[in-house]
């Protein structure tokens, strides 16, 4: 039986074993998918042992995405640009490919929800690892523009510069935001995890826009509630992105694209 797993610390909250077990059942793949929690400095030893014992591939979540980036012997372009790896796959020649499927997971979830990026104006809030992980796949959809804004403005500027060769990306100071000029606002900040909101003006919200929070929770997330309260017509949370990135990893490993919809429905029910 082909072995897969997810590495993280902590890991007990991870939905990945549930998602991939459903994907495997749905597509008739003979595989196991478990979870493992290495010590904070124990990723390399754990991943080496896993692949030496016949492991075929793994997902990697916090805090090991940079360790996995260094561990891979070959990187996809999107992983290189993300500077982080969430998926490893062992090839027959022994090479370990590092990929990052987070951004494509976000894009696929938007598309599944009839939110087109082509020709649209996108505001990306936050300039940390989560923002960096999604920029290239967003730009690959040919938006009119992606504008990065961040509490610490210098980091937004750095990120926009880093991706400037990959599409129309600029940055703006949060204080300069005022007009409802965006079609999509994506919150990639970790502010919501501590019950906070990025300091965005309410005047940027309009009815005919989509607000996407990359985090998820059983209830409406803080950012999405703020968006709704200020008149946004459509909000989505990161549960769909989670399933989307898993589907991309599964595709990389097994060569079959699983259906996200049914799994997302079951996962949402499990959260309640
Ligand atoms: P991640 O991997 O989740 O992106 P990170 O790299 O630490 O984590 O980045 C966290 C992001 O959330 C940053 O953009 C951070 O803003 P700063 O660069 O100014 O620190 C943003 N963030 C975290 N808490 C926030 C808050 N309370 N308000 C606004 N932005 C916040």
ipTM: 0.98
In the three-class reduction of DSSP (H, G, I as helix; E, B as strand; rest coil), residue 117 is classed as coil
Residues 230 and 253 in one domain: no
- Give residue-wise pLDDT tens across range 229-264: 999 999 999 999 999 999 999 999 999 999 999 999
Report the CATH number that the domain containing residue 68 is assigned in CATH.
3.40.50.10860
Q: Which residues are catalytic?
A: 65
Annotated binding site for NADP(+): 77, 126-130, 150-155, 214, 238
Annotated binding site: 14-16, 61, 77, 86, 102, 126-130, 150-155, 214, 216, 238, 245
- Residue (of 154, 114, 117, 119) closest to 135 by Cα position: 117
Residues 222 and 119 in one domain: yes
Q: Is 190 in the pocket of ligand 1 (CB under 6 A)?
A: yes
Residues 251 and 220 in one domain: no
Residue 12's Cβ-count burial label (10 Å; 0-12, 13-18, 19+) is exposed
For a pLDDT cut of 70, what percent of the chain falls above it? 100
- Give residue 189 CA to ligand 1 midpoint distance, Å: 5
Annotated binding site for shikimate: 14-16, 61, 86, 102, 216, 245
- Give residue 256 CA to ligand 1 midpoint distance, Å: 35
Residues 199 and 264 in one domain: no
- State how far the Cα of 160 lies from the Cα of 149, in Å rounded to an integer: 10
- Give residue 150 CA to ligand 1 midpoint distance, Å: 8
Mutate to test the pocket of ligand 1, among 148, 157, 189, 238 (most ligand atoms within 8 A of CB): 189
| pLDDT number for residue 46 | 98
CB 182 within 8 A of CB 117: no
| pLDDT number for residue 272 | 84
Residues 160 and 190 in one domain: yes
- Give residue 126 CA to ligand 1 midpoint distance, Å: 6
Q: Is 137 in the pocket of ligand 1 (CB under 6 A)?
A: no
Q: Is 82 in the pocket of ligand 1 (CB under 6 A)?
A: no
Residues 33 and 109 in one domain: no
Q: How many CA atoms lie within 13 A of 115 on its CB side?
A: 23
Q: Is 17 in the pocket of ligand 1 (CB under 6 A)?
A: no
CB 26 within 8 A of CB 262: yes
Q: Is 168 in the pocket of ligand 1 (CB under 6 A)?
A: no
- Residue (of 168, 182, 85) closest to 125 by Cα position: 182
Per the structure, the complete domain to which residue 61 belongs is given by 2-100+240-271
**Both tokens assigned to 238:** 């990161």
32-58: buried (b, 16+ CB within 10 Å) or exposed (e) per residue? ebbbbebeeebbeebbeebbeeebbbb
- Give residue-wise pLDDT tens across range 146-204: 999 999 999 999 999 999 999 999 999 999 999 999 999 999 999 998 889 999 999 99
- Give residue-wise pLDDT tens across range 74-122: 999 999 999 999 999 999 999 999 999 999 999 999 999 999 999 999 9
DSSP code of 9? Answer: S
| pLDDT number for residue 166 | 97
Give Dmax (Cα) for the chain: 56
- State how far the Cα of 64 lies from the Cα of 10, in Å rounded to an integer: 11
CA angle 244, 247, 250 (to 5 degrees): 155
Q: Is 37 in the pocket of ligand 1 (CB under 6 A)?
A: no
Residues 221 and 124 in one domain: yes
Residues 121 and 146 in one domain: yes
Residues 123 and 233 in one domain: yes
What string of DSSP letters covers 216-261? --SSPPHHHHHHHHTT-SEEEETHHHHHHHHHHHHHHHHS----HH
For the sheet containing 87-90, what is the strand order?
Answer: 31-36, 2-7, 55-60, 87-90, 96-99, 74-75
169-190: buried (b, 16+ CB within 10 Å) or exposed (e) per residue? bebbebeebeebebbbbbbbbe
Q: Is 155 in the pocket of ligand 1 (CB under 6 A)?
A: yes
Q: Which atom, in ligand 1's list, is nearest to the CA of 193?
A: 24
- State how far the Cα of 272 lies from the Cα of 270, in Å rounded to an integer: 6
Residues 75 and 171 in one domain: no
Number of domains in the chain: 2
| pLDDT number for residue 116 | 98
Does residue 37 surpass a pLDDT of 90?
A: yes
Residues 127 and 227 in one domain: yes
Classify strands 87-90 and 96-99 as parallel, antiparallel or unpaired: antiparallel
Residues 179 and 256 in one domain: no
| pLDDT number for residue 195 | 86
Report the CATH number that the domain containing residue 146 is assigned in CATH.
3.40.50.720
């Amino acid at each position: 039986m082909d072995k897969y797993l997810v590495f993280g610390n902590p890991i007990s909250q991870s939905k990945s074993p549930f998602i991939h077990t459903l994907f495997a059942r749905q597509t008739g793949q003979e595989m196991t998918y478990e979870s493992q929690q290495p010590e904070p400095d124990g990723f390399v030893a754990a991943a080496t042992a896993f692949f030496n014992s016949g492991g075929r591939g793994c997902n990697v979540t916090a805090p090991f995405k940079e360790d996995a980036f260094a561990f891979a012997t070959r990187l996809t372009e999107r992983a290189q640009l993300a500077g982080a790896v969430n998926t490893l796959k062992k090839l027959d020649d022994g090479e370990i490919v590092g990929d990052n499927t987070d951004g494509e997971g976000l894009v696929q979830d938007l598309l599944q929800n009839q939110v087109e990026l082509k020709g649209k104006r996108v505001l990306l809030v936050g300039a940390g690892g989560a923002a960096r992980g999604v920029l290239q796949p967003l730009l690959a959809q040919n938006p009119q523009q992606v504008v990065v804004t961040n509490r610490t403005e210098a980091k937004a500027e750095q990120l926009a510069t880093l991706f400037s060769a990959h599409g129309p990306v600029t940055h703006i100071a949060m204080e300069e935001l005022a007009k409802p000029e965006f079609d999509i606002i994506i919150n990639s900040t970790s502010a919501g995890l501590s019950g906070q909101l990025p300091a965005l003006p309410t005047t940027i919200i309009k009815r005919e826009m989509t607000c996407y929070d990359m985090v998820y929770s059983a209830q409406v997330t803080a950012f999405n509630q703020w968006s709704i309260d200020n008149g946004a017509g459509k909000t989505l949370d990161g549960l769909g992105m989670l399933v989307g990135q898993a589907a991309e990893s599964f595709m990389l490993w097994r060569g079959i694209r699983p259906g996200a919809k049914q799994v997302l429905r079951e996962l949402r029910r499990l959260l309640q």
